[in-house]
Structure 1
Amino acid sequence: MKKNKLILALIIASTSSIVLPTSNVQAANITDVEGQETKEVVEKNIADIPKDDEVTYPKNEKDTRESDGTNKFNRATETERETFGEDKNVVNIDKNVKAKLDETKGEYGKKNGEYANNKLKAIDTPVKNVVINPGENENKVAVTWFGKSEIRDSSRLYFNGKEYKPERARKTGDSNGYSTYTVLLDIKPGENYEYYIKNDNYKTEKKTLKTKALGNDNEFSMVLIGDPQIGSGDSVWDSKGLNKNTQAKVDQDKIDFAKTIEIARKLDPHFFLSMGDNVEIAGYEGEYDYFFDNDLFREKIFSSVVGNHETYIDKNDTSLQNTVFSDHFYLPNESELGSISYENEDGTRTYIPGDYWYSYGDTLFLNINSNERDSNIHSKFIEKAIKNAEEKRGSNFSWKVVSFHHAPYSTATHTSDDDILQRRSELVKIFNNNNIDLVLNGHDHIYVRSGHMLAGEQALDFEKAYGTHKNDPNAGIKDNFTKTYNNYIYDNGKVVVDGISLDYGSNEVTDPRGTLFLTMSASAGAKFYNPIGEDQWFVQRSLDDRSQLFSKLTFSKNQFRLLTMDTDGNIVDSYTINKTDEHIKNPNNKEKTNFSKLEAYIRKIQGKKLLLDKENIRAYNYAIENAIKVLNDKNASQEEVDSAIEVLNTRLSGVEFLREDNKNTDNKDSKVDKNVKDSKDKYCQKDKEVSIKKEIKAQKTKVENFKKDSDFENKNFIKSSNVKTGVTSLSSILGLISISILGLSKSKRK
């Protein structure tokens, strides 16, 4: 029997009706056993931003640092630290900031004071926030600037001796009365271009865009920076009189961010890329003004993805409009897929731009707005973008890179958030199917390089999964659930995790399988998060030395090189991937996956008689349906299929089956059967349910809606987003088969 013709068969000896609890899913039409149709409403997710999820968990007692400088179980975060500790480069307040604090008797850094929130000192020049963004390839750029006043037809760019009229001009939400303008330009990489901007009678000083030619085999380099988050804060800065969203903190962050920029520019990359959260609150104009107040943005090409902090605005502001990110950045090949757009309660607009792409040399960069949590939307974008880009190019790209803010694989306080586990579960398969080589992320303010990740679930011993024994109190285990890692521990002592990590055993590999994930630490040093999972199964390198970090990524036709550095110029991580011409030409070339063992085991389990208790059926249903999903996946790797057998066996370790007397057991099946329970003293009778009242929490992250998505605490702010939440579980549509099925149907499963 072919694997794609296998259907779910619940072997139930009784014809009595059992109510199977449905999952909390998005707009799913569900017909219950009584024939009543219900529909859950998808509500628009525009709500007050919840409190910091970094401080959801109290500081654990084990607060000493390990010999390697880490504390692997301390959920204390930046908001709970009393000293800078091991923090580098942020140990002293700048002398000018200190002087201003003294002069104002602390008011300069006082929360909600005269220099805070919307009272931040916005830059008020006739032209500001000039930035050079990439065009659709290395031969194009876009120049964007803010000009004070209503849209002026006279606002012009004078570039390389020629006058250019903006292709894009519109009013911004800036309360000081600015409009935004963009000019698209053709360039020749390697040339320098002098330019200036005129707005009405105001003329900026001349600046020079310094471009760089591609090297041999189209070699180029870029610098990757993580969450600058200008204006953010923590208790350590608070104790020194620098609260978040104050002028003192903005000034300090600008100075610390400049340290990263200074050392990174010496590496002379072709362009820079930020992982988003460039500021603490997008609606505070002064924060983005001071983020851009560096010659880097006027002299080098700079790109950014959207972070969650780019969606935050002040609920008490005179205008709730949030078009901040799109006002500041030109996004080449921008798609409507992934965009967030709606009208605010005061009639103004919120618009967070969608996914976009550009190419550079032999590399395709796909950038997605991960505030949109519907993974299917991003899947459509990626497939469409790759097709369009390769059609234009006429051949495959050597490297495909996806960038977005929310890191699926990280080791600090966000690693076990519900929304992160959702992305981890859904996105890796999409990346594998589209042969994505590298994924770049931020959000968790810690540095992590994963193994080469394959989609799929694994059943692992708790210690192997998380690097600590389950008896350690810092694991936060209660009722078989670890709060620290947000996962259920099954009756056989194992947990089921998303992702299969391939370790090639060295810092250089050729033609690897899977997708490499890189999470960047905070490049401005504004705040750092403590680790809780540096020994998780996916980690190859995790750094918690609390220093400002950035990475230099170098791409050529057949090689990718990673160098991660601190602001002292020390290399703290390196990795190299080589790729042969044959692998570039045929990225889908892999051995055929054998599904026979998984199919045989599913058939074996379906032959057992199940104890008819609703929770027992629910757990059984969930285990079987996930195994069948793997069985029917033509793109599943051999590792995923082989792992699915142990995952199914683990999920069934708490399921009760009826004892079958006089049944011969094949010895070769004893290994996979050893954790499947037979009920020896409980029987199903007609019109009677026998409940064992077991609490089944198995993998709740796959079947519940998720609200938690921020690290912001002030309820006076609202999240400018209509993020869709939740994932659809198969259990919500399969329902209950309440009659005996004595075999596998030959009908194709839909």
Structure 2
Amino acid sequence: MHQFYKSKKVLAVYVLTALCITSAGVYAATEHWNDASLTPQTVTRTSLSEKTGWQEWKNSWDAVKSNYEQVSLAPGADASRLNFGWYSKKKSDTAAVRISRHPDMQNAKVYSGTCKPGTVINGVTYYTNKVEAVGFKPNQTYWYQVQLNGEWQPAQQYKTGNPKDFSFMYVGDPQIGASIGQTPADGSKKQDGEIAARNDAYNWNKTLNAALRQHPEINFLVSPGDQINEPAAKGDAEKIQLQEYQYAGYLSAAVLRNLPEATSIGNHDSMTEGYENHFNVPNPFTEEANPTKAGHGYYYTYGNALFIVINANNYNAADHETLIKKAIAAHPDTKWRVVVMHQDIYGSGLDHSDSDGIILRTQLTPIYDANHIDVVLQGHDHTYARTYQLSSDGKNHAAFDNVKVKGQSGQDHHLFDQALQDTAFKNTYESQNLCYTIADMKQGTLVNPKGVFYMSSNSATGSKFYNLIPQQQDYIAARSQTWRPTYSVIHITDDRFTLNTYDVETGAAIDTSYSIVKD
């Protein structure tokens, strides 16, 4: 263990390195998962009925998995806007959504958008429809209808929040289908891709409904990526269909008809256009030099908070810096700056936090500091962890271009497993990633702290859990692996950011509350 001392204006920083680069085996497989067959008595709400237990869910799965035309809502460019995305079998000149203040849709206003070829599923061409609606006011109730294949669908309710005092739900890696290969306790055979999607989609419904029941104040959802498990490849019809089963399971949750979701591109989402087809993100960063097939990073505001979503499967940090600067230039006066990304550059899970998860750490840490980012929300490692307030050490560090690729292909963490077999590379990789200092170690409520706060989320569905790294890193303030799905609620006002994380089944907090105050 090494020790470094670095002086600052106000405090001396002691950095004890505890980066445990373990023997570079392949840890992607895990026996830890959430078996839906063990909870047949559990009641959940789905798009098919108000109360559906496990057996009923299994009976309805054929209808769920093939319902590719479910709508997704996304936050708009600001709180007065809302984005819609959905598949249709029919092509139209323009996609259409209408908005009303009344459930019978009287005096509805129609908003038009685009309808373009999306993908081919089982020989059928589906079109991707995208519409932006505007003019939403705080603390109001609206109804919307989507035009699908020439017909207006039943009206759905949408309630706006208070942009000056709001909460959002943060979920980690739903990864519908990741329980593939597991054997259920009910005596069923080992799960194939479709049955794994059925299992994980059921648990996804449970998580969302539990969270909204326990915290009805939630205004929207944020996900760091890996909505689905099957990375697929263009032209592989069988895998594309499995991927769309997983998207159908993910979008099956009835709460998503009323809850906007700000998703990110995970490594499992990144290989096909499926992500971009389903989700209509605001301000997409189309200038990205090394995008993935799934699309781009983007940004939006909600009240006094600026959210910048990084496509971290792209290893070109210059792209991310350009996006951050563009977002800040468009909204220079927002008080809170929050980055969301898939890979956890400061996490504590065994599988990725010491390998591909930190490949961008040396490059992004100084960028976040220079642009006064307050919080970075991460996923990828299927464990819960939060850091102390961290800053760059101000030194130049290696970028590891020798093991990077132009846009992560979806499974390239195996390149790191292979590269870390080389002792010289492993030693360099470990030493260069000691590129941070601990700016503030206080807990509870911090007032005007220095540094950036990083948080990694565990699986929200239990489709796949990983072990924690054996030795807790020095930058980690708290971590947890209970082998149970969790979710976080983040509350933001003009002067306070507060994080709390909960067990889905019990609703109990799994960690103490952490708050940052800007006075």
TM-score range, shorter chain: 0.7 to 0.9
**Which of 301, 304, 311 is residue 359 of structure 1 equivalent to?**
301
- Report whether the alignment pairs 1:289 with 2:226: no
User: The residue matched to 1:133 in structure 2 has which SS?
Assistant: strand
Q: 1:165 to 1:244 in 2, by over 3 A?
A: farther
**Which of 569, 590, 604 is residue 507 of structure 2 equivalent to?**
569
- Name the aligned partner's letter for residue 452 of structure 1: Q
Q: Deviations over 1:56-84 (max 9, x none)?
A: 627xxxxxxxxxxxxxxxxx6653x3xx5
- Distance in 1 (alpha carbons) for counterparts of 2:432 and 2:351: 19
- Report whether the alignment pairs 1:528 with 2:478: no
- Name the aligned partner's letter for residue 87 of structure 2: F
**Which of 79, 92, 99 is residue 159 of structure 1 equivalent to?**
99
- Report whether the alignment pairs 1:57 with 2:25: yes
Q: Deviations over 1:731-750 (max 9, x none)?
A: xxxxxxxxxxxxxxxxxxxx
Matches within 5 A, 1:655-694: none
Shift of 1:129: 1.9
Alignment check: 8 A CA contact 2:358 2:433 kept: no
Shift of 1:153: 3.1
Structure 2 unaligned blocks of 5 or more? 1-21, 42-52, 232-239, 396-419
Q: Deviations over 1:394-417 (max 9, x none)?
A: xx2211000110010111123455
Matches within 5 A, 1:438-517: 438-456=375-393, 486-487=426-427, 497-517=434-454
Shift of 1:157: 2.1
Matches within 5 A, 1:137-148: 137-148=78-89
Q: Which residue of 1 aligns with 2:160?
A: 211
Q: Which residue of 2 aligns with 1:261?
A: 208
**Which of 112, 118, 135 is residue 172 of structure 1 equivalent to?**
118
User: The residue matched to 2:196 in structure 1 has which SS?
Assistant: helix
Q: Which residue of 2 aligns with 1:624?
A: none
Shift of 1:570: 0.5
Q: Deviations over 1:196-218 (max 9, x none)?
A: 2333453422211122233xxx1
- Report whether the alignment pairs 1:414 with 2:351: yes
Q: Which residue of 1 aligns with 2:139?
A: 190
Q: 1:521 to 1:416 in 2, by over 3 A?
A: closer
- Report whether the alignment pairs 1:543 with 2:502: no
- Name the aligned partner's letter for residue 225 of structure 1: V
- Output the TM-score relative to the length of structure 2: 0.77
Q: Which residue of 2 aligns with 1:717?
A: none
Q: 1:90 to 1:121 in 2, by over 3 A?
A: closer
Alignment check: 8 A CA contact 1:480 1:489 kept: no
- Report whether the alignment pairs 1:311 with 2:311: no
Alignment check: 8 A CA contact 1:154 1:199 kept: no
Q: Which residue of 1 aligns with 2:319?
A: 377
* Structure number with higher relative contact order (C-alpha < 8 Å, ≥ 6 residues apart): 1
Q: Deviations over 1:356-403 (max 9, x none)?
A: 11111111101110111011111111112201222xxxxx22110001
- Name the aligned partner's letter for residue 281 of structure 1: E
- Distance in 2 (alpha carbons) for counterparts of 1:495 and 1:188: 49
Q: Flag the structure with larger Rg.
A: 1
Shift of 1:152: 1.4
User: The residue matched to 2:176 in structure 1 has which SS?
Assistant: coil
Q: Which residue of 2 aligns with 1:578?
A: 517
Shift of 1:94: 4.4
**Which of 221, 226, 238 is residue 277 of structure 1 equivalent to?**
226
- Distance in 2 (alpha carbons) for counterparts of 1:495 and 1:426: 11
Shift of 1:93: 6.1
- Distance in 2 (alpha carbons) for counterparts of 1:479 and 1:255: 39
- Distance in 2 (alpha carbons) for counterparts of 1:407 and 1:399: 20
- Distance in 2 (alpha carbons) for counterparts of 1:307 and 1:280: 10
Q: Which residue of 2 aligns with 1:331?
A: 281
User: The residue matched to 1:448 in structure 2 has which SS?
Assistant: strand
User: The residue matched to 1:166 in structure 2 has which SS?
Assistant: strand
User: The residue matched to 1:365 in structure 2 has which SS?
Assistant: strand
Structure 1 unaligned blocks of 5 or more? 1-53, 59-75, 109-114, 313-321, 342-349, 391-395, 459-477, 581-750
Q: 1:489 to 1:365 in 2, by over 3 A?
A: closer
Q: Deviations over 1:281-304 (max 9, x none)?
A: 153211101110112221112110
Shift of 1:423: 1.0
**Which of 173, 186, 195 is residue 248 of structure 1 equivalent to?**
195
Shift of 1:121: 7.0
Alignment check: 8 A CA contact 2:76 2:282 kept: yes
- Name the aligned partner's letter for residue 509 of structure 2: I
- Distance in 2 (alpha carbons) for counterparts of 1:293 and 1:513: 42
Q: 1:556 to 1:89 in 2, by over 3 A?
A: farther
- Distance in 1 (alpha carbons) for counterparts of 2:223 and 2:422: 40
Q: Which residue of 2 aligns with 1:131?
A: 72
- Distance in 2 (alpha carbons) for counterparts of 1:264 and 1:193: 22
- Report whether the alignment pairs 1:227 with 2:168: no
- Distance in 1 (alpha carbons) for counterparts of 2:326 and 2:57: 53
Identity level (%): 23
- Output the TM-score relative to the length of structure 1: 0.54
- Name the aligned partner's letter for residue 274 of structure 1: S
